[in-house]
Chains A and B, each alone.
Chain A
Amino acid sequence: MRDYLKFLYRVWRLSFQGSWKFYVWMTLCSVVSLIGLNAYAKQFVDGLSTTGLVDQVAWGAYIANFTFLVGLAAAAVMLVIPAYIYRDEKMHEVVLFGEMMAIAVIVMCLLFVTVDLGHPERFLHMIPPFGKLNWPGSILSWDVIVLNGYLLLNLHIVGYLMYTKYMGRKPTRMFYVPFVFIAIIWAISIHTVTAFLYVGLPGRPFWNHAIVAPRFLASAFTAGPALLIITFQFIRKFLHYHIGDEPIFTLRKIVVVSMIINVFLLACELFAEFYSDTYHVAAAKYLYFGLHGHSALVPWIWTAVGLNFVGLVLLISPLSLRLPWLNLACALAFVGIWIEKGMGLIVPGFVPTPLGQVVEYAPTLNETLVCFGIWGFGALVYSWMLRVAVLILRGTLKAPANEPVFPPSTTILQIKQAP
């Protein structure tokens, strides 16, 4: 226990130490988070009227980002499966970075849900025995359970492995391997349940398709590994932790296959909507072509289509065997999916309304700042976790008993490997 508190204290102290680049980045993230917090404080005082939401479009940018991010969190499983099921040694070395991303992203998800609530201070109403969670009836109650469960699972796995590494002990398999396997199934469940939030509403024909859940998974397994590919290169460049090209190209294979499935499923959905051309096509028409002269989302969705298309072509071409092209393809796919699965999924669910009204929604500045704030905070949390994790994984930060010592006038940049 004493060792553990000491460990936490040292991690805390080291969190504020680093090169000037580290300071600049962390300050930037903090400033963005604080601007978001400021915007949220305004919303807390004035109510959700500070957003662009109205009765007819009850969910917007917050829930859109939430939906996208649940997928990103679930995608950590694409590192875990090769590492633990196929016993890929190279993936095993980086799997923790994926699980840490899941933690940071779930934190962002929970924040996005919280800022969307009219009464965030009533969150206890969801937690038995104080509250009355409507389980198993409400899919939202399932989502509360699976998201928090996934957060706890990953906190345990990452925390346990980091601490044993710090203490210089070999981790006991029984204490983490079962949780890793539970987390694999759990990861699929968080995104499936989040899809069911929408699928389970018969009054919203745009969402009421069985294909939404598989599409969610396919797009998540594209966007998540795409972000990891880019993150790994940041880690090796700025945190001086060696990650070979093998994990990156294993992820590339995953991204390519997922992206093909994702685009295929999208095409299936568009066919069903537009070929049958029932009156349920109105929402899709609004999204892609505009409805009754309202077309706020049209430029966005065609941007997403373009990004996804170029991303797909780059990914399946041999060009993406070179890192700069691969990075470009990943970035395009990431943004494309963010648009399509965020605003492109949520807003048309409400337009037109079940009574045929077309009311357009656009986020306000304040709402946008809150979104940026949460992304900034997520980046802050993830950067911090990576920074500390790299020190532990390299053996630089160890329990006092077997602590390495450094010659005088060492700087953080020189501490690349433990002496």
Chain B
Amino acid sequence: MAKKLKKAHSLRHIVQIGTAALTNGYLEGFKTGSIYTGPLKVACVPGLNCYSCPGALGSCPIGSLQAVLSNRGYNFSFYVVGFLFVFGALLGRFICGWLCPFGLVQDLLNKLPFYKKLKKLPGDKALRYLKYFILAAFVILLPSVVLDIAGQGSPWFCKFICPSGTLFAGIPLVAINSSFRPALGGLFVLKVSVLTLLLLLSLALYRPFCRYLCPLGAIYGLFNPIALYRFKVDKTACINCGACQKACPIDIPVFKQPNSQECIRCGACRYACPVGAIHTTIERRAKKSGIEQVYVE
């Protein structure tokens, strides 16, 4: 079982690395400290992938949403919400677990040995709501309401919080292109501090940013119960042993809530289940046992 789980995690990391390479394949940007300016950037990518990353070939959906909302001509973005709905309706938070580059960074850091690994932070339940507050305040409200004299807003989430933008865009651009260095100041220090805190926390806690702060995860989580890709528990097979919850790095009672908004579809529960009761809506039913299966979704 442990071997199977290791194999599954390896496959997931290969997909994560492949996706990160595919969506950040503009190598010239890394050489010159510039960004891709071609037409592909009209499309949003599914994960939190800053469009100012030197390699980025697509647009970050959260950055794009703020860009439209902070533009004085619009108070809603059909275009970006459309992308978010397509990704969410098809995959839900599978995107967080398998396709997000910042998720990959947190996954890899959590694999490093640390003197104390935490299952959750104190106040975990309340902290989970923080990402919805960040989505409402920093991504939607502040960019559309706080405007300068020209009627333009700011991308508040990107500016003050987004650690993905700092790691994949800010730090590489400043390191490669010296023309950015004179502009370094308090904001950069703040953003690097947020990033450092989250990276250090990732050593002890599995995916702290995704659990508590990510507005994109908050959106995709809402789709988990209705997305094309869902988990289902065969109640005729489940023995309520709790092995799924024990294996879950986010401590979700999968046997009760297979489609929790917090689940990033890493799949650890499926390999931990001693009776193989957790299935996905994509896979075919492997066995035709003749016994009717009763699913909880």
A and B interact physically: no
Q: List residues of B whose CB falls within 8 A of some A CB.
A: none
